[in-house]
Amino acid sequence: MTRFRDALAAPGLQAIAEVKRRSPSAGDLRPDADPAVLAPAFALAGAAACSILVDERFGGSFDDLRAARASTGLPLLAKGFFTEESHLRTCRDAGADAALLLLRDLDDDRTAALLAFAAELGLETLVEAHDAEELNRAVALGAPVIGINARDLSSFEIDRASQLALVASAPRDRVIVAESAVDSRAKGAAAELAGAHAILVGSALMRAPDPAAKLSDLLRRPLVKVCGLTREEDVAAAAEAGADLAGFILAKESPRTAPGVLAVPETMLSVAVHVGETTDSGADLVQLYRRENGHRSRDAVLLRDGEQVAQVVDLPWQEDDPSHLARAAAVEGRLMLAGGLDASNVGAAIAAAHPWAVDASSRLESAPGIKDHAKVRAFVEAAR
């Protein structure tokens, strides 16, 4: 059986899918949730692990953990408010592979004692932090898997910007899990690009008509970027079609130069496209080309806060290249594939290059900078 930490540390963005009948902040979510049904369905949908709420305040019990254990070989995380060694023994005996330790409720001595006892039991842990102080404590205590929660457990408010900053600051020798409020591919990608190995998703799955299908959708790759957006109505059309990334070209020489980085919905990340140099555009990501012979270079890099997070493989300026997909397929790490893509060829391109994201612009237009909404919808559907 795959160990909890190892499952989360596997390549790509992983997910802990959570069985949660109710939430103190949101009330009932899925009162009839059956862990014996959901856990194996989550495994088939791509979950790396399954989290089971065993606290009655969330409508859970240790019987739920036992039911999940009987139905799946996935690593199971027991979630509750565990403060004593006896709690961890109960988790292990009920079938858990790992247990949650909330630093908010534990001082360093108690946490260290629980970590040591868990190790004796062969039980792994997810040590959860909510702020920089708790993250530093988790690191100092040697926690191998650290969860960073976007939700303040006192006010129940979500602060994703602070969460992502903490994820980005965490040591790279730890497995980092971004928790709470991940309900779209874009939010999962934001956590991934900040440095998270995995996301923990509960409420979004429990609210979905088909929780396993929702999980599969959150993890689906490639992401889809519609670039060359210049109008609010085109951003809205791309979002409605299901695009994950909205690209705004800020290079003045382009016929698709945007007036700036327009507002995008929470289901999308904004990408500012620059040639030669960047400016502070306020975008979530930056796509940077070099300037060559008065035009953009062939390829680019995708940056988050100035750090490269993906390689963009494109066609030469106004040229074609029969080796384009072979070049792309040879890239190691995250690949954004661009250049001449539309609904007619994106499926074959994905099959050939296996990109993390696909990027289309000019072939989705009725005129430079003006998107044809039918072409946008067709492209996104074909890329899915």
DSSP one-letter string for 197-216: SEEEE-HHHHHSSSHHHHHH
How far apart, in whole angstroms, are the C-alpha atoms of residue 192 and residue 230?
Answer: 27
13 Cβ contact partners less than 8 Å away, ≥ 6 residues apart: 188, 189, 191, 192, 196, 197, 198, 199, 219
Crossing angle between the packed helical segments 85-93 and 108-121, to the nearest 10 degrees: 30
Bridge partners (DSSP) of residue 129 are 148
DSSP 192: H
Chain centroid offset of residue 97 CA: 23
Helices (H), the chain: 4-8, 35-45, 62-71, 85-93, 108-121, 132-140, 160-169, 185-194, 203-207, 211-219, 232-241, 324-329, 346-353, 373-383
CA 3, 7, 9, 14 dihedral sign is negative
Catalytic residue IDs: 18, 20, 79, 128, 149, 179-180
How far apart, in whole angstroms, are the C-alpha atoms of residue 250 and residue 247?
Answer: 10
How far apart, in whole angstroms, are the C-alpha atoms of residue 169 and residue 342?
Answer: 37
Tokens 């792994």, residue located: 124
How far apart, in whole angstroms, are the C-alpha atoms of residue 204 and residue 304?
Answer: 26
